[in-house]
Amino acid sequence: MASTNLSMLNKTSNNSFSDECYTPDNAIFPLLSELSKDKVYYDCTSGISSNIVDFLISNGYKCMSSGNKNFLVDELPEGIDIIITNPPYSKKDKFIERCYQLKKPFALLLPVSSLQGQKRGEMFDKNGIEILVLKKRIDFTGKGSPHFGVAWFCHNILQKKLIFK
Query: What pTM did the predictor assign?
Result: 0.87
Instruction: Tell me the average pLDDT across 128-136.
Output: 96
Q: Strand pairing partners for 41?
A: 63, 82
Please indicate, yes or no, if residue 1 is contained in any of the structural domains: no
At residue 35, does pLDDT exceed 80? yes
Please indicate, yes or no, if residue 127 is contained in any of the structural domains: yes
User: What is residue 69's predicted lDDT score, i.e. its pLDDT?
Assistant: 93
> Could you tell me the pLDDT band of residue 21, with boundaries at 50, 70 and 90?
low
User: What is residue 20's predicted lDDT score, i.e. its pLDDT?
Assistant: 57
Cβ-based neighbour number of residue 157 at 10 Å: 19
Question: How many domains are contained in the chain?
Answer: 1
**DSSP string of 48-93?**
T--HHHHHHHHTT-EEEE-TT--TTTSPPPTT--EEEE---GGGHH
At residue 111, does pLDDT exceed 90? yes
Q: Which domain holds residue 148?
A: 6-164
At residue 142, does pLDDT exceed 50? yes
Contact 64, 53 (CB under 8 A): yes
The rounded distance, in Å, linking the Cα atoms of 4 and 21 is: 9
